[in-house]
Structure 1
Amino acid sequence: MHLTVEQTYPASVDDVAAMLADESFVRWRAERSTTAGTVEQADVDHAPDGAFTVVVRRTLPTDQIPAQVRPFVGERLEVRQAEAWEAPDGGAGRRVGTVALEITGTPVRLTGTVALEPTADGTLQVYRGEVKAAVPLFASFVEEAAAATVRTTLAAEEQAGRDWLAGTR
Protein backbone atom coordinates (compact mmCIF):
# COMPACT_ATOMS: atom_id res chain seq x y z
CA MET A 1 0.00 0.00 0.00
CA HIS A 2 1.30 3.44 -0.90
CA LEU A 3 1.76 5.98 1.90
CA THR A 4 2.39 9.72 1.60
CA VAL A 5 2.76 11.95 4.67
CA GLU A 6 3.45 15.69 4.48
CA GLN A 7 4.79 17.78 7.33
CA THR A 8 5.40 21.51 7.45
CA TYR A 9 7.87 23.52 9.49
CA PRO A 10 8.17 27.31 9.88
CA ALA A 11 11.92 27.29 9.21
CA SER A 12 14.35 27.02 6.30
CA VAL A 13 15.41 23.71 4.80
CA ASP A 14 18.88 24.19 6.31
CA ASP A 15 17.43 24.77 9.78
CA VAL A 16 15.11 21.77 9.52
CA ALA A 17 17.94 19.55 8.24
CA ALA A 18 20.16 20.72 11.12
CA MET A 19 17.37 19.86 13.57
CA LEU A 20 16.87 16.40 12.01
CA ALA A 21 20.63 15.78 12.25
CA ASP A 22 20.85 16.83 15.91
CA GLU A 23 21.13 13.75 18.11
CA SER A 24 19.59 15.60 21.08
CA PHE A 25 16.53 16.40 18.98
CA VAL A 26 16.30 12.87 17.58
CA ARG A 27 16.20 11.34 21.09
CA TRP A 28 13.86 14.04 22.45
CA ARG A 29 11.46 13.63 19.51
CA ALA A 30 11.48 9.84 19.81
CA GLU A 31 10.82 9.94 23.55
CA ARG A 32 8.03 12.45 23.07
CA SER A 33 6.29 10.51 20.30
CA THR A 34 6.62 7.18 22.15
CA THR A 35 4.18 7.85 24.98
CA ALA A 36 3.71 4.26 26.15
CA GLY A 37 6.95 2.77 24.91
CA THR A 38 10.69 2.96 25.41
CA VAL A 39 13.36 4.49 23.19
CA GLU A 40 16.12 1.91 23.01
CA GLN A 41 18.41 3.73 20.56
CA ALA A 42 18.58 7.18 18.94
CA ASP A 43 21.76 7.75 16.95
CA VAL A 44 22.91 10.15 14.26
CA ASP A 45 25.99 9.52 12.12
CA HIS A 46 27.44 12.45 10.17
CA ALA A 47 29.50 12.27 6.98
CA PRO A 48 32.08 14.93 6.06
CA ASP A 49 30.02 16.03 3.01
CA GLY A 50 26.95 16.91 5.13
CA ALA A 51 25.07 13.64 4.63
CA PHE A 52 23.73 12.03 7.79
CA THR A 53 21.95 8.88 8.93
CA VAL A 54 19.41 8.70 11.75
CA VAL A 55 18.52 5.42 13.46
CA VAL A 56 15.80 5.17 16.10
CA ARG A 57 14.76 1.93 17.77
CA ARG A 58 11.68 1.87 20.00
CA THR A 59 9.81 -0.78 21.94
CA LEU A 60 6.04 -0.26 21.98
CA PRO A 61 3.10 -2.10 23.56
CA THR A 62 0.56 -3.53 21.14
CA ASP A 63 -2.54 -2.50 23.09
CA GLN A 64 -3.46 0.14 20.47
CA ILE A 65 -3.16 -2.25 17.53
CA PRO A 66 -6.41 -3.87 16.37
CA ALA A 67 -7.03 -7.17 18.16
CA GLN A 68 -7.08 -9.08 14.85
CA VAL A 69 -3.47 -8.07 14.17
CA ARG A 70 -1.99 -8.78 17.63
CA PRO A 71 -1.45 -12.52 17.01
CA PHE A 72 1.01 -11.54 14.26
CA VAL A 73 3.03 -9.13 16.41
CA GLY A 74 2.95 -10.32 20.04
CA GLU A 75 2.71 -8.20 23.19
CA ARG A 76 5.44 -5.69 22.33
CA LEU A 77 6.76 -4.28 19.09
CA GLU A 78 10.33 -3.34 18.35
CA VAL A 79 10.24 -0.64 15.70
CA ARG A 80 13.44 0.35 13.91
CA GLN A 81 13.39 3.50 11.77
CA ALA A 82 16.36 4.57 9.66
CA GLU A 83 16.68 7.68 7.52
CA ALA A 84 19.70 8.20 5.29
CA TRP A 85 19.93 11.82 4.16
CA GLU A 86 22.12 12.76 1.21
CA ALA A 87 24.52 15.71 1.29
CA PRO A 88 23.06 19.15 0.46
CA ASP A 89 22.42 19.50 -3.26
CA GLY A 90 24.69 22.47 -3.81
CA GLY A 91 22.32 25.40 -3.65
CA ALA A 92 18.95 24.18 -4.92
CA GLY A 93 17.63 24.40 -1.38
CA ARG A 94 16.29 20.87 -0.99
CA ARG A 95 17.42 17.72 0.78
CA VAL A 96 16.53 14.12 -0.06
CA GLY A 97 16.99 10.77 1.52
CA THR A 98 15.63 7.29 1.98
CA VAL A 99 13.63 5.86 4.84
CA ALA A 100 13.10 2.32 6.08
CA LEU A 101 10.88 1.24 8.93
CA GLU A 102 10.85 -2.29 10.18
CA ILE A 103 8.82 -3.94 12.91
CA THR A 104 11.24 -6.62 14.10
CA GLY A 105 9.85 -10.13 14.15
CA THR A 106 6.87 -9.24 11.97
CA PRO A 107 6.34 -9.40 8.23
CA VAL A 108 5.75 -5.61 8.01
CA ARG A 109 8.15 -3.16 6.30
CA LEU A 110 7.99 0.39 5.01
CA THR A 111 10.53 1.64 2.49
CA GLY A 112 10.55 4.91 0.64
CA THR A 113 11.93 8.39 0.27
CA VAL A 114 11.91 11.54 2.34
CA ALA A 115 12.51 15.08 1.09
CA LEU A 116 12.75 18.61 2.42
CA GLU A 117 11.45 21.27 0.02
CA PRO A 118 11.47 25.05 0.56
CA THR A 119 8.07 26.78 0.66
CA ALA A 120 7.06 30.43 0.87
CA ASP A 121 6.75 30.20 4.65
CA GLY A 122 9.15 27.41 5.63
CA THR A 123 9.81 23.82 4.70
CA LEU A 124 7.69 20.92 3.50
CA GLN A 125 8.89 17.46 4.51
CA VAL A 126 7.37 14.65 2.44
CA TYR A 127 7.55 10.93 3.16
CA ARG A 128 6.59 8.65 0.26
CA GLY A 129 6.77 4.91 0.57
CA GLU A 130 5.29 1.47 0.35
CA VAL A 131 3.98 -0.45 3.34
CA LYS A 132 4.27 -4.18 2.74
CA ALA A 133 2.97 -7.02 4.88
CA ALA A 134 3.77 -10.60 3.95
CA VAL A 135 0.78 -12.16 5.68
CA PRO A 136 -1.39 -14.56 3.68
CA LEU A 137 -5.05 -13.48 3.55
CA PHE A 138 -4.58 -10.55 5.95
CA ALA A 139 -1.89 -8.48 4.20
CA SER A 140 -4.10 -5.50 3.33
CA PHE A 141 -5.57 -5.34 6.84
CA VAL A 142 -2.10 -5.46 8.42
CA GLU A 143 -0.79 -2.85 5.96
CA GLU A 144 -3.69 -0.51 6.80
CA ALA A 145 -3.03 -0.88 10.54
CA ALA A 146 0.72 -0.29 10.05
CA ALA A 147 0.10 2.75 7.83
CA ALA A 148 -2.25 4.26 10.42
CA THR A 149 0.41 3.80 13.11
CA VAL A 150 3.08 5.37 10.90
CA ARG A 151 0.82 8.37 10.18
CA THR A 152 0.12 8.86 13.90
CA THR A 153 3.81 8.61 14.79
CA LEU A 154 4.86 11.03 12.05
CA ALA A 155 2.19 13.53 13.16
CA ALA A 156 3.61 13.38 16.70
CA GLU A 157 7.13 13.81 15.29
CA GLU A 158 6.01 16.83 13.25
CA GLN A 159 4.59 18.48 16.38
CA ALA A 160 7.81 17.72 18.25
CA GLY A 161 9.80 19.37 15.44
CA ARG A 162 7.58 22.45 15.48
CA ASP A 163 7.97 22.70 19.26
CA TRP A 164 11.75 22.26 19.03
CA LEU A 165 12.00 25.03 16.42
CA ALA A 166 9.90 27.26 18.69
CA GLY A 167 12.40 26.73 21.53
CA THR A 168 10.74 23.96 23.56
CA ARG A 169 13.33 21.42 24.60
Structure 2
Amino acid sequence: MHVTIDVPVPLSAAAYATLVRDESFVRFRTAVPGARVDDVIVTPADGESFTVTVRRSVSAAQIPPQVRSFVGSELEIRQVEAWEGERGGAWHGTVALEITGTPVRMTGTVELVPSGDGAILRYDGDVRASIPLFGPAVERSAAEAVRATLGAEELRVQAWVDVHGTPA
Protein backbone atom coordinates (compact mmCIF):
# COMPACT_ATOMS: atom_id res chain seq x y z
CA MET A 1 0.00 0.00 0.00
CA HIS A 2 1.45 3.35 -1.05
CA VAL A 3 1.54 6.17 1.54
CA THR A 4 2.53 9.82 1.37
CA ILE A 5 2.70 11.71 4.65
CA ASP A 6 3.34 15.46 4.78
CA VAL A 7 4.42 16.86 8.14
CA PRO A 8 4.48 20.69 8.29
CA VAL A 9 7.57 21.95 10.11
CA PRO A 10 7.54 25.42 11.75
CA LEU A 11 11.22 25.93 10.87
CA SER A 12 13.25 26.53 7.77
CA ALA A 13 14.57 23.38 6.09
CA ALA A 14 18.12 24.32 7.14
CA ALA A 15 17.12 24.84 10.79
CA TYR A 16 15.23 21.54 10.89
CA ALA A 17 18.16 19.71 9.24
CA THR A 18 20.37 21.07 12.03
CA LEU A 19 17.94 19.96 14.75
CA VAL A 20 17.38 16.47 13.38
CA ARG A 21 21.09 15.76 13.98
CA ASP A 22 20.56 16.35 17.73
CA GLU A 23 19.73 13.10 19.58
CA SER A 24 17.84 15.01 22.29
CA PHE A 25 15.60 16.63 19.69
CA VAL A 26 15.01 13.35 17.84
CA ARG A 27 14.06 11.63 21.11
CA PHE A 28 11.67 14.49 21.94
CA ARG A 29 10.00 14.64 18.51
CA THR A 30 9.47 10.87 18.33
CA ALA A 31 8.04 10.59 21.86
CA VAL A 32 4.45 10.78 20.65
CA PRO A 33 1.49 9.70 22.81
CA GLY A 34 1.14 5.94 22.93
CA ALA A 35 4.80 5.31 22.09
CA ARG A 36 7.93 4.80 24.15
CA VAL A 37 11.29 5.79 22.64
CA ASP A 38 13.78 3.03 23.40
CA ASP A 39 16.85 4.23 21.51
CA VAL A 40 18.05 7.08 19.26
CA ILE A 41 21.31 7.08 17.31
CA VAL A 42 22.49 9.87 15.01
CA THR A 43 25.48 8.89 12.88
CA PRO A 44 27.31 11.55 10.87
CA ALA A 45 28.63 10.48 7.47
CA ASP A 46 30.78 12.16 4.85
CA GLY A 47 30.06 15.84 4.24
CA GLU A 48 26.55 16.84 5.25
CA SER A 49 25.14 13.28 5.12
CA PHE A 50 23.88 11.62 8.29
CA THR A 51 21.70 8.74 9.47
CA VAL A 52 19.04 8.85 12.19
CA THR A 53 17.92 5.57 13.77
CA VAL A 54 14.98 5.46 16.20
CA ARG A 55 13.68 2.40 17.99
CA ARG A 56 10.34 2.82 19.75
CA SER A 57 7.58 0.65 21.15
CA VAL A 58 3.84 1.14 20.64
CA SER A 59 0.70 -0.70 21.68
CA ALA A 60 -0.47 -3.46 19.34
CA ALA A 61 -4.06 -2.25 19.79
CA GLN A 62 -3.86 -0.54 16.38
CA ILE A 63 -3.57 -3.78 14.41
CA PRO A 64 -6.40 -6.18 13.55
CA PRO A 65 -7.38 -8.49 16.43
CA GLN A 66 -6.89 -11.62 14.30
CA VAL A 67 -3.14 -10.97 14.04
CA ARG A 68 -2.42 -9.59 17.53
CA SER A 69 -1.75 -13.08 18.84
CA PHE A 70 1.26 -13.25 16.51
CA VAL A 71 2.89 -10.04 17.78
CA GLY A 72 1.89 -9.68 21.43
CA SER A 73 0.67 -6.56 23.19
CA GLU A 74 3.47 -4.28 22.03
CA LEU A 75 5.21 -3.61 18.72
CA GLU A 76 8.81 -2.51 18.38
CA ILE A 77 9.29 -0.14 15.46
CA ARG A 78 12.72 0.62 14.02
CA GLN A 79 12.94 3.67 11.76
CA VAL A 80 16.08 4.58 9.84
CA GLU A 81 16.43 7.79 7.84
CA ALA A 82 19.58 8.18 5.74
CA TRP A 83 19.92 11.85 4.78
CA GLU A 84 22.05 13.20 1.93
CA GLY A 85 23.44 16.71 2.02
CA GLU A 86 21.48 19.82 1.10
CA ARG A 87 20.76 20.46 -2.59
CA GLY A 88 19.03 23.64 -3.72
CA GLY A 89 17.61 24.40 -0.28
CA ALA A 90 16.08 20.93 0.16
CA TRP A 91 17.26 17.76 1.88
CA HIS A 92 16.62 14.27 0.51
CA GLY A 93 17.07 10.78 1.84
CA THR A 94 15.66 7.31 2.24
CA VAL A 95 13.53 5.86 4.99
CA ALA A 96 13.00 2.30 6.17
CA LEU A 97 10.53 1.52 8.91
CA GLU A 98 10.05 -2.02 10.14
CA ILE A 99 7.99 -3.65 12.83
CA THR A 100 10.52 -5.97 14.46
CA GLY A 101 9.57 -9.63 14.50
CA THR A 102 6.89 -9.20 11.84
CA PRO A 103 6.94 -9.23 8.04
CA VAL A 104 5.71 -5.61 7.95
CA ARG A 105 7.92 -2.90 6.47
CA MET A 106 7.77 0.53 4.90
CA THR A 107 10.49 1.68 2.52
CA GLY A 108 10.67 4.87 0.56
CA THR A 109 12.01 8.38 0.48
CA VAL A 110 12.04 11.29 2.88
CA GLU A 111 12.53 14.88 1.87
CA LEU A 112 12.59 18.21 3.62
CA VAL A 113 11.56 21.08 1.37
CA PRO A 114 11.02 24.79 2.02
CA SER A 115 7.39 25.87 2.24
CA GLY A 116 6.35 29.42 3.10
CA ASP A 117 7.86 30.39 6.45
CA GLY A 118 8.69 26.78 7.28
CA ALA A 119 9.21 23.45 5.59
CA ILE A 120 7.44 20.23 4.73
CA LEU A 121 8.83 16.89 5.84
CA ARG A 122 7.47 14.40 3.28
CA TYR A 123 7.57 10.64 3.66
CA ASP A 124 6.68 8.72 0.50
CA GLY A 125 6.82 4.95 0.32
CA ASP A 126 5.20 1.56 0.33
CA VAL A 127 3.94 -0.41 3.31
CA ARG A 128 4.17 -4.16 2.75
CA ALA A 129 2.93 -7.01 4.95
CA SER A 130 3.79 -10.45 3.64
CA ILE A 131 1.27 -12.32 5.76
CA PRO A 132 -0.93 -14.90 4.02
CA LEU A 133 -4.66 -14.07 4.12
CA PHE A 134 -4.28 -11.06 6.43
CA GLY A 135 -1.66 -9.11 4.45
CA PRO A 136 -3.96 -6.42 2.99
CA ALA A 137 -5.71 -5.81 6.33
CA VAL A 138 -2.38 -5.55 8.13
CA GLU A 139 -1.02 -3.20 5.44
CA ARG A 140 -4.02 -0.88 5.86
CA SER A 141 -3.67 -0.88 9.65
CA ALA A 142 0.09 -0.43 9.49
CA ALA A 143 -0.26 2.44 7.01
CA GLU A 144 -2.73 4.21 9.31
CA ALA A 145 -0.46 3.65 12.32
CA VAL A 146 2.51 5.07 10.38
CA ARG A 147 0.43 8.10 9.30
CA ALA A 148 -0.73 8.73 12.87
CA THR A 149 2.73 8.31 14.39
CA LEU A 150 4.58 10.48 11.87
CA GLY A 151 1.77 13.04 11.72
CA ALA A 152 1.83 13.48 15.50
CA GLU A 153 5.45 14.59 15.27
CA GLU A 154 4.29 17.98 13.93
CA LEU A 155 3.00 18.91 17.39
CA ARG A 156 6.21 17.69 19.02
CA VAL A 157 8.38 19.84 16.74
CA GLN A 158 6.25 22.90 17.57
CA ALA A 159 6.51 22.09 21.29
CA TRP A 160 10.32 21.91 20.98
CA VAL A 161 10.45 25.28 19.20
CA ASP A 162 8.15 26.82 21.83
CA VAL A 163 10.56 25.78 24.60
CA HIS A 164 13.98 25.96 22.89
CA GLY A 165 13.44 28.50 20.12
CA THR A 166 14.71 28.28 16.57
CA PRO A 167 18.28 27.08 16.07
CA ALA A 168 20.74 29.61 14.67
- TM-score w.r.t. the length of structure 2 is 0.91
Q: 2:52 aligns with which of 42, 54, 68?
A: 54
* Structure-1 residue corresponding to 2:93: 97
Gap regions ≥5 residues in structure 1: none
- Give the Å deviation of 1:139: 1.0
Deviation at 1:48?
4.3
SS across alignment from 2:86 = coil
Whole-Å Cα distance in 2 between the matches of residues 122 and 78 of structure 1?
31
Tell whether the 8 Å contact from 2:62 to 2:141 is kept in structure 1 after alignment.
no
Aligned-pair CA distance for 1:30:
2.3
Write the distance in 2 (CA, Å) between the matches of 1:64 and 1:165: 30
Which residue identity is paired with 1:106? Answer: T
1:30 paired with 2:30, answer: yes
Deviation at 1:36, TM superposition (A): 3.7
Q: Distance in 1 between matches of 2:64 and 2:134?
A: 13
Shift of residue 101, structure 1, vs aligned partner: 0.4
C-alpha distance 47-79 of structure 1, shift in aligned 2 (>3 A): same
Identity %: 48
Residue 157 of structure 1: CA displacement?
Answer: 1.2
Structure 2 unmatched runs, 5+:
none
Higher mean C-alpha deviation, range 2-11 or range 69-78 = 69-78
What is the aligned counterpart of 1:155 among 151, 155, 158?
Answer: 151
| CA distance in structure 2 between the aligned counterparts of 1:123 and 1:60, rounded to whole angstroms | 27
Aligned to 1:164: 160
2:4–2:123 contact (8 Å) kept in structure 1: yes
**TM-score normalised by structure 1 residue count:** 0.90
1:83 paired residue number: 81
Q: CA RMSD in A?
A: 1.6
> In structure 2, what is the equivalent of residue 6 of structure 1?
6
Equivalent position of 2:17 in the other structure: 17
